[in-house]
């Protein structure tokens, strides 16, 4: 009897998954930008633009005419992504610059060079992030998730905020996920020194 109930339960779950799979995927994927706005003459900086959401964002904004600066830890992978964007859209204005958000010296060097060479910044997209890392620390001693996903982007934004203000109207976009629903801030142990769970971090 138990086996029969188990099989019926699994069958029901499978049927429900098949019926609702398209809706679950649509919900999890989030919204779709339907804007046709052009960004000619605008400069956009995207962190972590060599893969995933960052790369797709870079492609879309380049197609809209923006100058897209891809800030990537791995310049070689960044150049590969930029080449694929140029192949998809011949007029794309994309360039790659090295930025390691796990190293405050790298962030400061990036910002100093950026401020010397770029005279306008209309959109800063804080997209780069790490997830489910084993317990490691940044060069500066921060827990990796906290250091890269939050503190690194905070420092970068702080260093570029003057240029953003001078380029007004300008925007700062912070990319997130639904994962924040499963964690909480442990103010007494921000760097997970007491205990560590990569999923909660």
Buried b (16+ CB within 10 A) or exposed e, 51-89: bebbbebbbbbbbbbbbbbbbbbeeeebbbbbebbeeee
CB atoms under 10 Å from CB of 91, counted, come to 8
For residue 79, is it within any domain? Answer: yes
3 state SS of 123 = strand
Measured CA to CA in angstroms, residue 45 lies from 49, 57, 66, 76, 172 at distances of 9, 11, 10, 18, 10
Give a yes or no: residue 67 inside a domain: yes
Find the domain containing 93 and state its range: 43-173
pLDDT of residue 141: 93
Global confidence as pTM: 0.84
Q: What is the CATH number of the domain that holds 142?
A: 3.40.50.720
- 106 falls within a domain: yes
Quick one: CA torsion of 95, 84, 31, 153, rounded to 10 degrees?
A: -30
* CB neighbourhood size of 163 (10 A): 20
Among left, alpha and beta (phi > 0; psi -120 to 50; other), residue 165 is alpha
CA distance 131 to 151: 15
Decide if 7 is inside a domain.
no
Across the 201 residues of the chain, what is the mean pLDDT of every consecutive 10-residue run?
Answer: 79 77 69 87 97 95 98 97 97 97 98 98 96 90 92 98 98 86 76 76 65
Closest CA to 200 of 154, 122, 137, 146: 146
Which neighbouring-strand residues pair with 172? Answer: 124
Cα dihedral: 198, 143, 97, 33 (round 10): 50
The Cα–Cα gap between 156 and 149 comes to 11
Has residue 91 been placed in a domain? yes
**Any idea what DSSP says for residue 152?**
I
**Sheet hosting strand 123-126, strand order edge to edge:** 93-98, 67-72, 43-47, 123-126, 171-174
**Domains contained in the chain, number:** 1
Which pLDDT does position 188 carry in this prediction? 82
Q: What's the rounded Cα separation, in Å, for the pair 25 and 55?
A: 20
Q: Is residue 149 part of a domain?
A: yes
pLDDT at 194: 77
Q: Is residue 130 situated within a structural domain?
A: yes
Does a structural domain hold residue 156?
A: yes
Asked whether the beta carbons of 68 and 61 are under 8 A apart, the reply is yes
Q: What is the pLDDT of residue 186?
A: 77
Kindly state the tokens that stand for 191. Answer: 């760097």
Query: How confident is the model at residue 101, as a pLDDT?
Result: 98
């Amino acid at each position: 009897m138990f086996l029969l109930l188990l099989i019926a339960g699994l069958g029901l779950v499978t049927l429900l998954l098949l019926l609702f799979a398209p809706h679950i995927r649509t919900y999890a994927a989030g919204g779709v930008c339907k804007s046709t706005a052009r960004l000619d003459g605008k400069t956009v900086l995207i962190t972590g633009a060599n893969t995933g959401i960052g790369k797709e964002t870079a492609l879309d904004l380049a197609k809209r005419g923006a100058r897209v600066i891809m800030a990537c830890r791995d310049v070689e992978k960044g150049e590969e992504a930029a080449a694929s964007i140029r192949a998809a859209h011949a007029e794309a204005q994309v360039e790659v610059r090295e930025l390691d958000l796990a190293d405050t010296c790298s962030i400061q060097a990036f910002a100093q060079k950026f401020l010397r060479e770029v005279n306008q910044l209309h959109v800063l997209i804080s997209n780069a992030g790490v997830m489910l890392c084993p317990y490691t620390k940044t060069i500066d001693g921060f827990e990796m998730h906290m250091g890269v996903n939050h503190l690194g982007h905070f420092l970068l934004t702080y260093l570029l905020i003057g240029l953003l203000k001078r380029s007004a109207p300008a925007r700062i976009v912070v990319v997130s996920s639904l994962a924040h629903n499963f964690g909480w801030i442990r103010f007494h142990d921000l760097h997970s020194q007491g205990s560590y769970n990569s999923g909660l971090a």
